[in-house]
């Protein structure tokens, strides 16, 4: 006796008409999609299946993106990455606080790394320069104009967001989350997920701005109440408004935990596309 099919089990006849296929996109829709993707390569990667040769080409562009970042940032030293909104001007309290944070990070021996753009990113890089420290950025190509800020010793510009996020995590021994939007939330929870799942070491995460992040902190606490995260996962985060407390947490959970010390800088090799800093 033949094994019943899913359709048989659901009470439908084997001879029932097959499900209709969706209509192919019109010529106008295809042209609109091509025009949309022509500005940025990552749009083509994310649009769905492509021709086999196009997929191969895209893999090489991803590899080139990684190579550009790995060679450009190889000698930046141990970093603390500061995440935050690009939309705050220099007279905004959050910008001023981020500038203080950047300077304080420098004073305990770290390079300040950001996404390289304006707003909070610029403020943190600027603070590092105020204190005579090292400042680097990992920028991203966007459909609208996005240039690196003027307070960087070294920067790279990536095509792909996921490559950029890997680089921002790769060279960091801790993360400071300043007020921001969707991108900041994405970067924050990416870092927390990697730490929680033991993909990276138990790096310190500092979230600054209790008024701004208050509802998010309540949401995280409710995750514990509902059992979707463990109570010890809260230990991953230091919620604070104090620059001094933030730096003490970074010093305790990064410098002391990993035994970081000042090392003799390695010599860069131009034939490997490396640059010193």
HEC-encoded secondary structure of the chain: CCCCCHHHHCCCCCCCCCCCCCCCCCHHHHHHHHHHHCCCHHHHHHCCCCCHHHHHHHHHHHHHHHHHHHHHCCCCCCEEEEECCCCCCCCCHHHHHHHHHHHHHHHCCCEEEECCCCCHHHHHHHHHHHCCCCEEEEEECCCCCCCCCCCCCEEEEECCHHHHHHHHHHCEEEEEECCCCHHHHHHHHHHHHHHHCCCCCCCCEEEECHHHHHHHHHHHHHHHHCCCCCHHHHHHEEEECCHHHHHHHHHHHHHHHHCCCCCCCCCCCHHHCCCCC
- Cβ atoms of 84 and 178 closer than 8 Å: yes
Specify the pLDDT at position 10: 52
The pTM is what? 0.81
Edge-to-edge strand order for the sheet containing 79-83? Answer: 154-158, 135-140, 111-114, 79-83, 172-177, 205-208, 237-240
- Return the structure tokens found at 88: 């705050």
- Cβ atoms of 136 and 160 closer than 8 Å: no
Question: In the beta sheet, which residues pair with residue 206?
Answer: 176, 238
Q: Where are the domains of the chain?
A: 67-258
Task: Look up tokens 């070491």; give the residue.
Answer: 201
Q: How far is CA 67 from CA 144, 157, 192, in A?
A: 25, 12, 25
Specify the pLDDT at position 275: 63
Q: Give, for all 277 residues of the chain, the pLDDT tens digit.
A: 556 555 555 555 455 566 776 667 677 766 566 655 555 667 777 788 888 998 899 899 999 999 999 999 998 989 999 999 999 999 999 999 999 999 999 999 999 999 999 999 999 999 999 999 999 999 998 877 568 899 999 999 999 999 999 999 999 999 999 999 999 999 999 999 999 999 988 889 999 999 999 999 999 999 999 999 999 988 889 999 999 999 999 998 887 666 655 544 556 666 565 666 6
Hey, what CATH class is 67-258 in? alpha beta
Specify the pLDDT at position 38: 55
Q: Is 173 exposed, middle or buried (0-12, 13-18, 19+ CB in 10 A)?
A: buried
Specify the pLDDT at position 45: 78
């Amino acid at each position: 006796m033949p094994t019943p099919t899913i359709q048989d089990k659901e009470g439908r006849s084997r001879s029932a008409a097959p499900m209709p296929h969706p209509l192919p996109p019109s010529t106008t829709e295809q042209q609109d999609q091509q025009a949309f993707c022509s500005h940025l390569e990552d749009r083509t990667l994310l649009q769905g299946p492509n021709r086999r040769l196009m997929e191969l080409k895209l893999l090489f562009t991803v590899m080139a993106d990684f190579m550009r970042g790995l060679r450009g940032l190889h000698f930046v030293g141990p970093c603390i990455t500061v995440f935050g909104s690009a939309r705050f001007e220099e007279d905004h309290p959050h910008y001023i606080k981020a500038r203080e944070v950047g300077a304080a990070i420098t004073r305990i021996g770290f390079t300040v790394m950001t996404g390289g753009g304006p707003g909070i990113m610029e403020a943190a890089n600027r603070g590092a320069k105020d204190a005579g420290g090292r400042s680097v950025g990992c920028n991203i190509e966007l459909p609208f104009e996005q240039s690196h800020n003027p307070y960087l010793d070294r920067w790279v510009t990536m095509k792909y967001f996921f490559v950029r996020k890997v680089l921002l995590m790769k060279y960091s021994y801790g993360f400071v989350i300043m007020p921001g939007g969707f991108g900041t939330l994405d970067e924050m929870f990416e870092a927390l997920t990697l730490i929680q799942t033991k993909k990276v070491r138990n790096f310190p995460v500092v979230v600054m701005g209790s008024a701004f992040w208050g509802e998010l902190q309540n949401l995280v606490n409710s995750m514990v109440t509902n059992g979707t995260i463990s109570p010890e996962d809260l230990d991953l985060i230091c919620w604070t408004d104090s620059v001094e407390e933030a730096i003490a947490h970074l010093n305790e959970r990064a410098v002391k935990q990993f035994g970081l010390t000042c090392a003799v800088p390695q010599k860069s090799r131009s034939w490997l596309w490396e640059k010193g800093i």
